[in-house]
A and B are shown apart, each in its own frame.
Chain A
Amino acid sequence: MTSQNVVQPDLEDVWQNYCQQMQDQLSPAVFNTWILSNPLTSVVFLDPQAATITITSPTTFHSTNLKKNFHDQIKRVFENILERSCQVNYQVGEISHSSRSRSGGARQTSQSTPFSSSSPNQIPNPSFTSNNNSDRVSTTHQTSSWQNVVPNSPRVEDLFSEHSLHSAAEDRFQAQLRGVGLRPDYTFETFAVSTSNEMAHAAATAVSNRPGQSYNPLFLYGGVGVGKTHLMHAIGNNILRNNPDIKILYCTGEEFTNDIVHAIQTKKARDFKERYRHANVLLLDDVQFIAGKNAVQEEFFHTFNALIKQLSQIVLTSDRPPHEITLLEDRLRSRFEAGLMIDIQQPSFELRTAIVLVKTKAQNIPFSIDQAKLVASKVESARKIEGVITSIRSEMELKHRQINTEMLEELLAVEVESKRPQIKVPPADVIKTVANHYKVKQSSIKGHSRVKRLVTARHVSMYLMKQELSMPLTEIGKWFAGRDHTSVLHAVRKINKESVINENLQQDISALCTTLSAVSR
């Protein structure tokens, strides 16, 4: 409109001027009741000849009577001040938040005017402050004065003080965690980050800060004890901390299955749907459990769609990527793959050391870095580390032993024997898995080609057959076009040596082991 191009007047100046003139014409009581309590909230110049003025009153009582009794006078004063024809509008109460700051200023002026020393000719009117307007003043400053109001009895804290609100929020948070079934100690703070899991950590942090908006669904996969569940709990923890009222559902694939079975048995499918489809965040651990169960997959598919549609965050974990979960319905697989899939690798030696330090610190066990290194060198999975630390603590607490190298060696000797699960697969599967992993043909792995990629794949296959399947060297040789046992030995040694320095190779091997152990189960 044209009003955009006209220079607008300063609201406060106009208001001050208006008050000044009105005060000269009216008695103090009338001025206070009908002018000061009804602030000017906007002045808009439409063109050089016209202006629109809005006066806001606390009640209809004020506005109707103001209009009835003072309209002509108000109009005249404004026309005098602004030197143009004025249209005066009257409205009640609601001062929108956007205009509040301006009108607040105007109103504040209205408060200070009768008392300010700069205008000694004005007589303060006690009835005005004590009766009419005192409540309106503090309404304006409600939010700021909220905490520093003097309580009317000593030593009792305000229900709505910062401290009470905070402590109530903390209690609520803890109760929520218990209700959802999340572990309070599985947070981002207690999660040790290194190259093998930094992507997953970053994605989980992003998801937890903006649930439903950053990566949906988030699919975390990796072998046993790499920290999938920890990250999932940490996401839940962080979301709840940011917003205690959000509805989080945490369950494992197995619990989800049981829930459906139970719902069907008790004919309460509706309750089930109600429960799952109204969640703001669904955390489903070990989703691979639902594979092969058709009714469950069907239900999950619908739940999944419903949640994604309403922008609820979904986080899934699995021990292998979607395309390797056999018996998973294609439509589910494609949906999982539509989100962000992140692979968490087996922890490297450095990360394991860090995990030992983080976990021992959390349990207040004094642990030196050398001792941590010792544990990390003997234990591969993060979950095992937790077990080792628990047994260390029990040794300390129950047998009152000091932590020393000897004690650790003793404990770890037991641990190492019962190391990771044996991989029991036919040798052909090893070659197949390796071929898939490196995206080469099985026949070329077995063949004679000296292409670097093939050689690595071939050596890794041999290494796995030797290390994991404990096959005799000659036997292994037969699988690779009848190679000599010395060639096999060379390959195994080479991989052994290289995996210590080459992190990529190390990760390849651990990923392959994970896949193989999954297949062998």
Chain B
Amino acid sequence: MKNKVLQENLQQSLGYVQKAIPSRPALPILSSVLITAQESVFSIVATDLYFGIKASLPAAIEDAGKVVVPGKELKEIIQSLPPGELNLSSKKNLLQISSQRTKSSIQCQVGEEYPQFPEAEGEKFSLPTQVLNVLSEKVLKSVSTDQTRPILTGVMMDFSNKGLRVVGTDGFRLAIADFSEIQVSNPNTLIIPGKVIDEVRRIAIQKNKESVDFYFSEENKQVFFSFEDVEIFSRLIDGEFPPYQKIIPQDFENKIEVQAADLHEQIKRALIFAKDSSGIIQIHYDDPSGLIIKAESPSIGSFEGLIDSAKVEGQQGVIAFNARYLIDFLQPLSEEVISISLSGALKPAKFKVSSAPNFQYIVMPFRVNS
């Protein structure tokens, strides 16, 4: 193999694929990336067999070939080089990378040992990048990272004649976003790993794309996102998504309306005192002067913050939440008014934002011991 590439391009492509290099690979070879130069296409592939990224870049190919190079080391060395032309050539089990003033030789394996990248197939869908942005801001934070319940590490995307509904949950909170503007001909439900969605969005933004095409194959249980020069492969998560519709509360005893920024500030303060008690803060809606946010810690002290502009309807009471769940919801907001609908201290509460009527956030409260 013998090629010329630009450092900028190679660094960018390695940036695209790096998330797919497994930190604990099932096969030793998977910690490496595959470099292929064939028929005027120069590409880099990384995968853990469940998730894979393939990036192509412009190159002057003098001699075709395939090599497998340790991913981390390759990325580090390329990153450290200045922009400009690089010469890549392989001899036996050494890949030589030479720039103007450097010459590195990296141990490599023959390309044939690396698993073959699958083909894109199945039905084609298209998603505006804007939708991915909303997902990342509103839904992905609720997706679990706990591998003991793999289904919850996925985002459920339900394409129906009513539009697209995206649901993410970690079992303690639930985020539902509806996009009625997205129309598809065939209804379908996919559960895509949350981190894949995040990665696709990252690449779409880097590449300044307005929309992302993807191919979904039920038979092969796979989804394939495709940009011109980057392809992302992921298997779909198999299994039954929890019956999320059943726990969406329909009827509430209380409704609280409050400025997002006010609540966010007070909860951030309260969290300082709640850090060693699993982040539990209490919202008191029993005081005529307004909403009171309280937190207590046996080792630090206690906090009390008043939001006097809050509007409370219904009975009085106290409810406790994990502050981090609320901050995840409040973080992207500022001027908006949010509404909290609840029915007592034990039932899930529903959060909504005035500016995003198609988004619902449902949080399970903590039991208050008093």
Interface residues in chain A, defined as those with a beta carbon under 8 Å from any beta carbon in chain B: 29-30, 32-33, 37, 58-62, 64-65, 68, 92-94, 127-128, 130-132, 134-136, 138-139, 142-143, 146, 149, 151-160, 164-165, 167-169, 171-172, 174-175
Contact B235 A93 (CB under 8 A): yes
| Contacting residues, chain A, for B203 (C-beta < 8 A) | none
**Could you tell me the dominant secondary structure of chain B's interface residues?**
loop
**Distance between B111 CB and nearest chain A CB, rounded to angstroms:** 13
**Contact assessment for B27 and A139 in the assembled complex, using a CB-CB cutoff below 8 Å:** no
> For B49, what are the chain A residues with a Cβ–Cβ distance below 8 Å?
33, 58-59, 61-62, 132
Chain B residue, CB-CB nearest to A153 = B278
The reply to whether the CB of B221 lies closer than 8 angstroms to some CB of chain A is yes
By the criterion CB–CB under 8 Å, are A157 and B150 in contact?
no
| Given A131-B25, A132-B26, A149-B149, CB of A60 within 8 Å of CB of B239 | no
B52 to chain A: which residues have CB within 8 Å?
61
B146 CB-CB contact with A under 8 Å: yes
Please, what's the 1-or-0 string for B300-343, where 1 marks a CB less than 8 Å from any CB in chain A?
00000000000000000000001000000000000000000001
Residue on A nearest B113 in the bound complex, by CB: A69
Chain B residues within 8 Å of A156, by CB: 172, 278, 322, 364-367
Q: How far is the CA of A175 from the CA of B252 in the complex (A)?
A: 10
Q: How large is the interface on B (under 10, 10 to 19, 20 to 34, 35 or more residues)?
A: 35 or more
* Chain B residues whose C-beta falls within 8 Å of the C-beta of A94 in the assembled complex: 218-219, 221, 238
Decide if A135 touches B116 in the complex (CB within 8 Å): no
B261 to chain A, nearest CB (A): 26
Q: Are B246 and A29 in contact (CB under 8 A)?
A: no
Write out the residue numbers on chain B whose beta carbons fall within 8 Å of the beta carbon of A139: 150-151, 237-239
Q: How far, in angstroms, from A61 to B233 measured CA to CA in the complex?
A: 9
Complex contact A151–B50 (CB within 8 A): no
B231 close to chain A: CB less than 8 A: no
23 A-B pairs (CB sep. < 8 Å): A30-B27, A37-B26, A59-B221, A62-B49, A64-B118, A93-B220, A93-B238, A94-B218, A94-B221, A132-B48, A134-B148, A153-B172, A153-B279, A153-B322, A155-B278, A155-B367, A159-B169, A160-B242, A165-B243, A168-B248, A172-B250, A174-B251, A175-B251
Q: How far, in Å, is B324 (CB) from chain A's closest CB? A: 9
Q: Which B residues are CB-close (under 8 A) to A152?
A: 146
Q: How far is the CB of A411 from chain B (nearest CB, A)?
A: 37
Are B247 and A160 in touch, CB under 8 angstroms?
Answer: yes
Please, how many angstroms separate the alpha-carbon atoms of A168 and B222 in the complex? 34
- Nearest residue (CB) in B for A58 is B235
How far in angstroms is the closest Cβ of chain A from B213? 18
| Cross-chain contact B249 with A157 (CB below 8 angstroms) | no
Check B220 against A159 for contact (C-beta < 8 Å): no
With A131-B25, A151-B171: A93-B221 Cβ-Cβ less than 8 Å: yes
Chain A: minimal CB distance from B242 (Å)? 5
Is B174 a contact partner of A159 (Cβ separation < 8 A)?
yes
Residues on A with beta carbons closer than 8 Å to the beta carbon of B235: 58-61, 93
| Chain B residues with CB under 8 A of A29 | 26-28
B172 touches A158 (CB 8 A): yes
**In the docked arrangement, what's the CA distance between A368 and B49, Å?**
76
Q: Shortest distance in angstroms between B306's beta carbon and chain A's nearest beta carbon? A: 26
